[in-house]
């Protein structure tokens, strides 16, 4: 993927919505170099317990608690990933801290009336979601511009969460990748704009897969935003089975790790 067609800084207003973290920061910094009028709407992350309760209603408490165990394990293992993360950032000249000149607006949720009021005031030409909760139908219907999502998985086979991990666990490494797609009322079901595929290094695992995919997707993210700003969006509906993914349960993650070296 080449650089966006418009290489000069654009006067367009671009908005990124995120719950924060190093991966969104990388994307925000990349956009800031092209769009001086960039605004970041940063919501409060959902608590893991709130996420677990919601999953329990859908999947049952056993599966939900098992997924919570994996989420906790991945967080505890982040210090072990620090060397790989630093190497990946340094190799690509990236920073996981949002540049100080970028304007950040703190909100409780991307679905709150205050967020909708901010969107109405700033009138962005495109909104990019990076690591947020699902946008509600009401909020989406109120958006005055295209809403795009950076998804760490190839749609539709790896919708939801941990798409990179699941492609490896299911012996489908050729689909270890990321998707830029339009947001609709479903979960990662909107039309695909661009895809990128890559491969993890031997030192990568569940705590670093999302970063690997974020770095690989920077170019297609810039291209998608540029297309939206200039009215060039051409979404397509990808083929294949559509599967909504969740984090593996702790026991499934351990089995895949010990038996198949997919951590």
pLDDT of 97: 94
| pLDDT tens-digit map of 66-90 | 999 999 998 888 888 888 999 999 9
Q: Average of pLDDT values for 224-238?
A: 95
pLDDT of 7: 54
Q: Average of pLDDT values for 91-117?
A: 95
Q: How far is CA 242 from CA 27, 157, 158, 189, 248, in A?
A: 27, 5, 7, 9, 18
Calculate the average pLDDT of the chain: 93
Which pLDDT band holds residue 4 (cuts at 50, 70, 90)? low
Residue 205 has pLDDT above 50, yes or no: yes
The C-alpha atoms of residue 126 and residue 149 are separated, in whole angstroms, by: 11
Give first-to-last CA distance, the chain, whole Å.
Answer: 29
The C-alpha atoms of residue 71 and residue 67 are separated, in whole angstroms, by: 6
CATH number of 14-260: 3.40.50.12230
Residue 3 has pLDDT above 80, yes or no: no
| pLDDT tens-digit map of 131-163 | 999 999 999 999 999 999 999 999 999 999 999
Helix %, strand %, coil % of the chain (to 5): 40, 15, 40
Residue 181 has pLDDT above 90, yes or no: yes
DSSP string spanning 170-196? TT-GGG-EEEEEE--SSSS-SPEEEEE
Q: What is the three-state SS of 38-76?
A: EEEEEECCCCHHHHHHHHHHHHCHHHHHHHHHHHHHHHH
Where do the structural domains in the chain lie, given as residue ranges? 14-260
The C-alpha atoms of residue 78 and residue 171 are separated, in whole angstroms, by: 25
- DSSP class of 259: H
């Amino acid at each position: 993927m080449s650089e966006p067609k418009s290489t000069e800084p654009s006067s367009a207003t671009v908005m990124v919505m995120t719950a924060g973290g190093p991966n969104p920061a990388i994307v925000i910094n990349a956009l800031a170099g092209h769009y001086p009028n960039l605004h970041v709407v940063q919501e409060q992350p959902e608590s893991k317990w709130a996420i677990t309760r919601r999953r329990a209603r859908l999947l049952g408490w056993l599966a939900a608690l098992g997924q919570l165990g994996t989420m906790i394990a991945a967080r505890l293992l982040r210090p072990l990933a620090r060397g790989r993360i630093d190497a990946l950032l340094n190799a690509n000249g990236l920073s996981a801290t949002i540049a100080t000149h970028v304007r950040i607006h703190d909100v409780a949720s991307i679905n709150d009336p205050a967020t909708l009021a901010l969107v109405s005031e700033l009138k962005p030409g495109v909104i990019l979601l990076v690591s947020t909760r699902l946008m509600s139908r009401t909020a989406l219907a109120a958006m005055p511009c295209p809403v795009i999502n950076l998804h760490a998985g190839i749609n539709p086979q790896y919708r939801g969460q941990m798409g990179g991990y699941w492609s490896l666990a299911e012996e489908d490494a050729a689909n270890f990748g990321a998707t830029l797609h339009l947001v609709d009322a479903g979960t990662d079901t909107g039309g695909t704009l661009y895809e990128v595929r890559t491969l993890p290094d031997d030192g990568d695992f569940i705590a670093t897969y999302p970063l690997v995919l974020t770095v690989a997707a920077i170019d297609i993210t810039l291209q998608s935003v540029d297309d939206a700003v200039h009215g060039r969006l051409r979404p397509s509906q990808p083929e294949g089975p559509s599967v909504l993914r969740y984090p593996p349960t702790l026991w499934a993650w351990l089995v895949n790790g010990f038996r198949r070296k997919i951590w």
